[in-house]
């Protein structure tokens, strides 16, 4: 499998936005083995959404979104944060997958029978990612300002280092 990954920060010292692109293919595998995806996060909109009152309506536009394209399907993902009453965040994750061609009726039948296990699996994956994020964030809590930015920049440049995020 050959992968091409791109990451773009709008400003490495104080990023306002993050863009991610991904393309992959299996050499000699034909069009069924190709996929691509793009994602972006408006960090200013993210922090504005987190700073809202818990009773305020959610932001009109999700601050983080992504798309993936394959010959047989397209997927769209959005993330919208909201503050909770207890001071934590709640992140609404919306995933839509749209099949193409013959995959639509087959996918509808599969989802009819497998919706519950799929939802549980996605929920468990999201909760696991949140737990890992909270663990990584707890290590950075004593840091702030320039020290925090330096630690994050070092983790992005050297992911195999001792304090990789």
Over residues 78-96, the pLDDT tens digits come to: 999 888 888 778 888 888 8
54 falls within a domain: no
How many domains, in total, are found in the chain? 1
Q: Binning pLDDT at 50, 70 and 90, where does residue 161 land?
A: low
39 falls within a domain: no
8 A C-beta contact, residue 66 and residue 40 = yes
Give dist(CA 113, CA 116) in Å, integer.
8
Task: Kindly state the tokens that stand for 133.
Answer: 């994020």
pLDDT of residue 165 exceeding 50: no
130 falls within a domain: yes
Task: Kindly state the tokens that stand for 107.
Answer: 């996918």
pLDDT of residue 97 exceeding 70: yes
User: What's residue 75's pLDDT?
Assistant: 92
Range of the domain at 142: 104-165
159 falls within a domain: yes
pLDDT of residue 62 exceeding 60: yes
């Amino acid at each position: 499998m050959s992968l091409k990954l791109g990451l773009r920060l709008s400003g490495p010292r104080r990023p306002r936005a993050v863009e991610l692109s991904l393309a992959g293919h299996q050499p000699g595998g034909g069009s069924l083995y190709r996929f691509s995806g793009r994602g972006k996060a408006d960090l200013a909109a993210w922090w504005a959404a987190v700073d809202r009152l818990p009773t305020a309506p959610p932001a009109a536009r999700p601050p983080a979104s992504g798309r993936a394209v394959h010959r047989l399907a397209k997927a769209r993902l959005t993330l919208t944060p909201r503050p909770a009453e207890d001071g934590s965040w709640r992140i609404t994750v919306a995933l839509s997958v749209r099949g193409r061609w013959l995959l639509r009726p087959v996918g509808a039948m599969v989802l009819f029978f497998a919706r519950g296990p799929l939802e549980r699996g996605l929920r468990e994956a999201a909760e696991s990612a949140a737990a890992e994020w909270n663990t990584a964030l707890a290590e950075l809590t004593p840091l702030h300002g320039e020290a925090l930015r330096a630690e994050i920049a070092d983790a992005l440049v050297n992911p195999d280092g001792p304090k990789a995020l």
